[in-house]
Structure 1
């Protein structure tokens, strides 16, 4: 049941078909706020943050923009009044065949962002969209509807990417993603980083001197306006805007959209729970304001519904997870550690009981050729390089390796259901990893496969494969088939019988416009879990 606060806000946003508050030119069709600014004017471009689309369905998708002529000023340089924004959907990029249009309100309560849920479109085809406010017209974006649920689909291509620290490199990987012919983009998280501007001085990264390419504005972010300005800073990048405008996205948050390595209602600093929840709530609001999300994900009482599904006809079923909001606190002080009894405790959860059951309910054999679990952190149980004296290996407590019982339940469900067509995609580790997924170390059977995408910029230029961490981790994990410390993304090219995963890399991100290269390419055959060199 929808609560009264959500109902009132949905009504204020326009809860009818396609989010229309009123038809163009008919401002009196629906009662408007008394303070609406019906004819806004701007001294400079209000579309500095670009446009985006996301959450496609067979009959439509979400289109997004935010009005911000001065994006780093408080309020984005906007007059603090709601104002009408016209939108158009066309069958061609020249807008000769407009098939849907309407007008919605950009509210100051949501940083003058708009989220239009377009409906009644034809399935399985591209569309183009734009916004108009006053005398200003936005850039054009391209989106696409999903195929009908019962349609035969022979191929889907999508990119997996995230971790885009603004200070640590150019967003060239996003430009290369924009140039790929894609059906969608999955952003696994760390869209922004919450840390302060550390100044112009040199520091160390990857064992080498490092000077930030560009700088954050202000200190560590805590307030709603802080988070809004940080999102605006990142959104101002033209390469990132190009990738948003090129294809529909599905987005998730990981930790840095709020605070490093937060877990449920707990942060890493020992902040009182009730204070951290205030920070989490404003971080989630700013995330919603800057993402092409449906109203179903609108934060209510400091929570967001982020686990959801989408399907491409009979070819691909996607399960998008939330591995932050419901997880148990990390074990062993969130330091790399042995997998002790705390790590193995059955009550510890990465997903929370409700989301875990939701996943299992949908992760079952059906008519679709493939299922993909799209989530934030590594599912492969990777032994890490020992630190300090002794020979016992350690594991990350922030990844699934710190939640062993939940990991075993998930892989056990896949195996018991007889599913041999499940692939996992994830990120967060700032390196490419391609792994077979085993229920336990040394187990003889492969249950599934994981492609973990490296970062867009986080970690800067990286060291490639020639570092001790890479060599040691490869030697400790025979199920790990490839890894590299370079920036880039994963491209998944899925047909009816074979899933190809390509680990794309850039040699440098500290210089602009680098070409993208193929580091490794693997194939997974339907019905035969496990990576094969392709």
Structure 2
């Protein structure tokens, strides 16, 4: 796919992926004296490490202590409520491996009330400082005065806003870990991560459904998550996958939530602010608070843990990414489609984003100077219908997508139309997920099926593994704006009565002339040795809407 199709694995990146260098021992002399003594009898870094939210001068480093991640207590029973964790960052892999020429280092406290998770914002952390734009760094976590440490990881900062560089990134969503079928204990294999770990990118974009709250006999725990402990255990089970860990420790991540991190199809604004409104309200409030807390504990995100405002029991956290600049050619917006969302059937003026987020998005559309302005949404912005009815009119595909929010949608698409009409080098692209079906389409301004006023090109990524039992053939026939449909395969695993779309991830690249997309997919998520192949590659030239396969 363009210039990134054959990116070689350089030696340092290969070493980070393969994990060599573990035998080196941290002696603890760089770290502050340990005041909370943990007595680990096995490696507490079973969940590895990760980085996220890179800027031009900082990045967030993450790890979580969990000797037994899939156990109800993560193997932490009897440990202190506060444990010192050392971190170190350098400019080369060898400097981290050999414990020389450290750029920054420090000690941070892992606390039991945050499930012993650690978030280090390098620029502002004690012992840290500013980083250089567009630079690769290497890092490691350790337990001071022990030999326990993470694999050496790599990360990178965003290039300066004037840097003329191509950006390469992966788009991922909807990674159910298991179904309730008997074969292979229902395991859903994430072959997309197997492919991604060997084909480097600058960063990953995670568009939600990192985990699924829903549970059954094949999940850990074997039930729907019904407590904070359940959500934490579910995250530990998900993050135990080796290929996912390799990708997280090698590429920084920008992420948002969708619904399944909390509860299916939840509307955040409809959840009561305080306990005591009744059983349903209290349950929804618990699910939101637990889901947000567990998401924060397990993702490399910038900002404090979720907190309830004064007078409220309802937690909030910073999820939206309003304008992420990656060099001259990419301005990335990632929407929070859940915390301020209202019910489209009952709200007077239903909203998916909330007024403030819509205003920030429109401001970015009006003022972006990047070659490509890319908006990430957990639900496709394209008009997306389920089927054509007997009256010849399209049938809505549920109430969870943008068709159910036409007024707010047209504020955004109207802003896209107005900016395009200025003819000043504005090139909008939408990336999305959620529907478990990879496609490419032209986004129309209005939800009217006859509308042909195109305002953006959309690339909806495949689910990493999640299934759906809908009639995909009917959906294809109902959506004429979809110009590339990534194929259906008969499901042979017994998991679905319907032919299933292909699974995997979307790979994108952008430079001063072209936006590239590459759908890397498989139909073998039910077996351990699936093969990922390129189903469709495309180019979108500046000044055009749509894409041309190649």
TM-score exceeds 0.5 = yes
- Residues 1:376 and 2:378 aligned together: yes
Cross-structure match for 1:329: 343
Cross-structure match for 2:159: 147
Counterpart mapping for 1:419-458 below 5 A: 420-440=426-446, 441-458=449-466
Contact 2:207 2:256 in 1 (8 A): yes
Q: 2:194 aligns with which of 147, 165, 175?
A: 175
Q: CA RMSD in A?
A: 2.3
Q: Deviations over 1:307-360 (max 9, x none)?
A: 12311121111111101111111438xxxxxxxxx9xx7x22111111111111
Cross-structure match for 1:205: none
- Distance (whole Å) between structure 2 residues aligned to residue 260 and residue 518 of structure 1: 31
Contact 1:166 1:216 in 2 (8 A): no
Cross-structure match for 2:535: 519
Q: 1:409 aligns with which of 403, 407, 411?
A: 411
- Secondary structure at the aligned position of 1:285 is classed as helix
- Secondary structure at the aligned position of 1:417 is classed as helix
Cross-structure match for 2:139: 129
- Distance (whole Å) between structure 2 residues aligned to residue 520 and residue 453 of structure 1: 12
- Residues 1:303 and 2:305 aligned together: no
- Distance (whole Å) between structure 2 residues aligned to residue 113 and residue 533 of structure 1: 44
- Secondary structure at the aligned position of 1:447 is classed as strand
Where do 5+ consecutive residues of structure 2 fail to align? Answer: 1-27, 124-129, 180-187, 272-277, 310-314, 488-500
- Distance (whole Å) between structure 2 residues aligned to residue 72 and residue 473 of structure 1: 38
- Residues 1:505 and 2:521 aligned together: yes
**Closer, same or farther: CA 428–51 of 1 in aligned 2, 3 Å:** same
Shift of 1:291: 0.4
Q: Deviations over 1:231-265 (max 9, x none)?
A: 00101111111111120001111000000000124
Q: 2:234 aligns with which of 221, 230, 234?
A: 230
Cross-structure match for 1:81: 81
Contact 1:320 1:375 in 2 (8 A): yes
- Secondary structure at the aligned position of 2:196 is classed as helix
- Residues 1:114 and 2:118 aligned together: yes
- Secondary structure at the aligned position of 2:471 is classed as helix
Contact 1:265 1:276 in 2 (8 A): no
Shift of 1:529: 1.9
- Distance (whole Å) between structure 1 residues aligned to residue 117 and residue 395 of structure 2: 44
- Distance (whole Å) between structure 2 residues aligned to residue 366 and residue 315 of structure 1: 10
Q: Deviations over 1:155-205 (max 9, x none)?
A: 0010101111111411221121222220110010011111122x3xxxxxx
Cross-structure match for 2:467: 459
Cross-structure match for 2:493: none
Instruction: List structure 1 segments (4+ residues) > 6 angstroms apart after TM superposition.
Output: none
- Distance (whole Å) between structure 1 residues aligned to residue 474 and residue 72 of structure 2: 48
- Distance (whole Å) between structure 2 residues aligned to residue 216 and residue 111 of structure 1: 17
Contact 1:60 1:121 in 2 (8 A): yes
**Closer, same or farther: CA 271–496 of 1 in aligned 2, 3 Å:** farther
- Distance (whole Å) between structure 1 residues aligned to residue 407 and residue 39 of structure 2: 57
- Distance (whole Å) between structure 2 residues aligned to residue 362 and residue 290 of structure 1: 29
Counterpart mapping for 1:117-266 below 5 A: 117-119=121-123, 120-133=130-143, 134-149=146-161, 151-168=162-179, 169-197=188-216, 199=217, 214-266=218-270
- Secondary structure at the aligned position of 1:255 is classed as coil
TM-score, normalised via structure 1 length: 0.83
Shift of 1:266: 3.9
- Distance (whole Å) between structure 2 residues aligned to residue 371 and residue 271 of structure 1: 44
Contact 2:369 2:426 in 1 (8 A): no
Shift of 1:367: 2.9
Cross-structure match for 2:51: 53
Shift of 1:216: 3.2
**Closer, same or farther: CA 236–520 of 1 in aligned 2, 3 Å:** same
- Distance (whole Å) between structure 2 residues aligned to residue 399 and residue 257 of structure 1: 18
Contact 2:31 2:86 in 1 (8 A): no
- Distance (whole Å) between structure 2 residues aligned to residue 221 and residue 153 of structure 1: 46
- Distance (whole Å) between structure 2 residues aligned to residue 412 and residue 307 of structure 1: 21
Alignment length (residue pairs): 468
- Distance (whole Å) between structure 1 residues aligned to residue 475 and residue 305 of structure 2: 38
Shift of 1:406: 1.1
